[in-house]
Structure 1
Amino acid sequence: MQQKTVNAVIVNAAHDVRCESREIEWNAQQVLVKVERGGICGSDIHYFQHGRAGMSVLKAPMILGHEFVGIIEQVPENSDLKVGQRVAINPSQPCQLCALCQEGKQNLCRSMRFMGSAQFFPHVNGGFAQYVAVNPVQCVPYSDGADAKVMAFAEPLAVCIHAVRQAGDLTGKRVLVTGAGPIGCLVIAAALASGATEVVATDISERCRQLAINMGVSAALDPRDEQQIERWAENGGSFDVCFEASGAGAAVASLVAFTRPGGIIVQLGMGAAEVNYPIGPLLVKEIQLRGSFRFTSEFTTAVRWLEQGKINPLPLLSAEMPMQDAALALELAADKERAAKVQLVF
């Protein structure tokens, strides 16, 4: 077992995030990666603001971060990976033994150890550190010519590609995306890249609506504009597929009216604990409601799409800040009127 002292972004409790020294250790079967940069996610913000993310509650200090890229510093013997390779790190660590994993549904593994998560105790440290030790299978190499600030979007893009695949073939389809934060905007890009003919977005934030336009939508509307929105419910609904990326209760409930008979709703936004849902219209229109959670093989797909320039996520990059300013970066990332995606530089 080898050890190294590194600086890392540690969340100790709500509103207590510091850049501190920590000992990391790794064994001969692991890869040591020098982290270049990482994107702040909604779950990082929740740990910072509330000391928890959903049902995952902090019980001890934890290194944040699961959207990050770096350069390989050390590899196991006889590995296909090479020192100096640039890699995106898949933060998923499924058990690979349970029935769900055996069925290829590793994202649903009940024993998933996801980096930067307090779901289990001891917590699983994340990648917001100068160095991190990971398993070789978590490393997806990419070319030196690709920009690290682009490649750091691999994890959230993988979430969105998985959601698009949950909807099936989008070729020629008319699509609605509710919620134009980073996830909603990457869903927009993934849907367009997957053949959608038209994508429309809604968000209560004017800034987010502009981001959606920058990502390629044909229209971005305020859902409080009832006169415009009600038109989507005419003649049974206007959209073949709807992606709900906000988690807002009103948005979740509204999509049944906007979806055409026989259409599909994909729910990937979290937030609303309870929703007054229109079950009757869902049934009589034979709408399929599908959940979407994390990703499986889509992580590698996301790396390739970004590497090849199939999607440009940079309109979403609002700021780049040094790891020493992690608390300020988290505050900025939490303010949706000022920022979309904030990246830490290590």
Structure 2
Amino acid sequence: MQQKRVNAVVISQAHEVSYQPHDMTWEETQALVKVERGGICGSDIHYFLHGRAGMSILKAPMVLGHELIGRVEYAPAGSGLAAGQPVAVNPSFPCRRCSLCHEGKANLCRAMRFMGSAQFFPHVNGGFAEYVAVQPEQCIPYDPQADPRAIAFAEPLAVCIHAVRQAGDLVGKKVLVTGAGPIGCLVIAAARAAGAAHITATDLSERCRSLALEMGADAAVDPRDEALTAGWASDGGVYDVSMEASGAPAAIASMVAYTRPGGTIIQLGMGVPEIAYPVGSLLVKELVLKGSFRFNGEFETAVRWLESKRIDPLPLLSAEMPMREAAPALALAADKGRAAKVQLTF
């Protein structure tokens, strides 16, 4: 076991973010990656604003960040990696021993060690640091000619590709996406790449609706505009697949009305823990309701799609800021009126 003192973006229980020295331990069987940039995720924002992300509550200072790219500084023998190689870092590390892992459902592993997560205590530190130590298999090499700003979207895009896979065959389907933040917009792009025939997006923000159109939506609607949404529930619903990416209770409940009988609803937005839900309508329409959590094997697919420019995420990139300015960067990322995705750089 070795120790390396690095500068990192650390959040305290009081939600205070600072750029400070941090003692990182690593083993020679791990790869050491010099971090070059990382995207600020919604969970980072929740820790910053509320000291928690869903059911994960900060109990001690923790290094934030899990949307990372960098270059290999040290590669263990036999890892297939090479010093200087550009890599995207998969932030998930399942136990590989439990029944869920053996069933090919590693994203549901109850012992998952996910970077920058306060789910367990001690918390799992993230990668907003000068260096990060990870298992070699977490490092996905990419073409050095690819745009690193785009490759840094690999983790959120993997989440969205997984959601699209949960929905099944989208070829020729009519799709509704509620919530046009970074995840909703990447879901739109992934659904378009998967063959969806028509995609409608909803969001309260005019800025987000504009981005949804830029990312591939055929229409972008304010859900409060009843003149536009009234017909969506006609004949039992008009959408083959509805993908809920906002976490807003009203949006979650509306999915049942807008999805056609026999259709599919994918829930990937995290909102309040409990809501009133129209179970009766779900039942009589025989709708399929599926959750979509993180990703399971889609991370490398996301890297390849970004590498080949099958998906261009750069319309979502609102700002690039140095890691030393992490606190104002988080504040900017939290302002939906001004920013979609903010990336921190070294």
- Separation (CA, whole Å) in 2 of partners of 1:275 and 1:55: 16
Q: Which residue of 1 aligns with 2:182?
A: 182
Q: Equivalents in 1 of 2:7, 2:161: separation in Å?
A: 33
The answer on whether the counterparts of 1:14 and 1:47 sit within 8 Å (CA) in structure 2 is no
Once residues 32 and 206 of structure 1 are traced to their aligned partners in structure 2, the CA distance between those partners, rounded to angstroms, is: 42
Aligned to 1:19: 19
Mapped partners of 1:7, 1:145: distance in 2: 28
Q: What is the aligned partner in structure 2 of residue 85 from structure 1?
A: 85
Greater Cα shift, 230-239 or 262-271: 230-239
Cα separation, 1, equivalents of 2:279 and 2:55: 27
2:171 corresponds in structure 1 to: 171
8 Å CA contact retained: 2:143, 2:307: yes
What is the aligned-residue identity percentage?
69
Residue number in structure 2 paired with 1:44? 44
Q: Distance in 1 between matches of 2:137 and 2:251?
A: 38
- Matched residues in 2 for 1:250 and 1:26: separation? 45
Q: Determine the C-alpha separation between the residues in 1 that align with 2:280 and 2:128.
A: 46
SS of the equivalent of 2:172 reads: coil
1:274 Cα deviation from its structure 2 partner: 2.2
Deviates more, 1:270-279 or 1:241-250: 270-279
Letter aligned with residue 245 of structure 1: A
Written as runs of structure 1 = structure 2, the 5 A alignment for 1:222-301 is 222-301=222-301
Who is 1:138 aligned against? 138
1:272, distance to aligned residue in structure 2 (A): 2.5
Which position in structure 1 is the counterpart of 2:154? 154
Q: Deviation at 1:27?
A: 1.0
Offset at residue 14 of structure 1 (A): 3.4
CA distance in 2, matches of 1:93, 1:273: 25
Aligned to 1:208: 208
Cα deviation 1:83-123 (Å, max 9, x = unaligned): 11110000001101000000010110001110000111111
1:252 deviates by 0.4
In structure 2, the partner of 1:328 is: 328
Deviation string for 1:237-284 (max 9, x for gaps)?
Answer: 111000000000000000111111110000000113222211111111
Q: Tell me how far 1:178 sits from its aligned partner.
A: 0.2
Partner AA of 1:47 in structure 2? Y
**Would you say the 8 A contact 2:175–2:242 is kept in 1?**
yes
Residue pair 1:66, 1:116 contacting (<8 A) in 2 also: yes
Is the 1:158–1:298 Cα contact (8 Å) retained in structure 2? yes
- Structure 2: which amino acid aligns with 1:328? P
Deviation for aligned residue 1:15: 3.4
TM norm structure 2 = 0.99
Local SS of the residue matching 2:94: coil
Match of 1:57 in 2: 57
Provide Cα deviations, 1:291-332, integer angstroms capped at 9, x if missing partner: 000001001110110001000000000000000000000000
After TM superposition, the runs of 4+ consecutive aligned structure 1 residues lying more than 4 A away are none
**What amino acid does structure 2 have at the position aligned with 1:84?**
G
**C-alpha separation in 1, matches of 2:37 and 2:20:** 17
Give 3-state SS (helix, strand or coil) of 2:25's partner. strand
Q: Is the Cα–Cα contact under 8 Å of residues 253 and 278 in structure 1 kept in the other structure? A: yes
Mapped to 1, the partners of 2:295 and 2:54 lie a distance apart of 19
Take 1:316 and 1:79, find their aligned partners in 2: how far apart are those partners? 34
Q: Tell me which moved more, 47-56 or 83-92.
A: 47-56
SS class of match (2:162): helix
Say if 2:54 and 2:270, in contact at 8 Å, map to a contact too. Answer: no
- Indicate conservation of the 8 Å contact 2:198/2:218, yes or no: yes
2:140 maps to a residue whose letter is V
Deviation, structure 1 residue 79: 1.9
* Superposed displacement of residue 78, structure 1: 2.1
Q: Which amino acid aligns with 2:144?
A: D
Q: Cα RMSD (Å) of the superposition? A: 0.8
**Aligned with 2:93: secondary structure?**
coil
Aligned partner of residue 211 in structure 1, secondary structure: helix
Tell me, what secondary structure is at the counterpart of 1:328?
helix
Unaligned runs of 5+ in 2: none
Tell which deviates more after alignment, 64-73 or 233-242: 233-242
Residue aligned with 1:13, SS: coil
What runs of 5+ residues in structure 1 fail to find an aligned partner? none
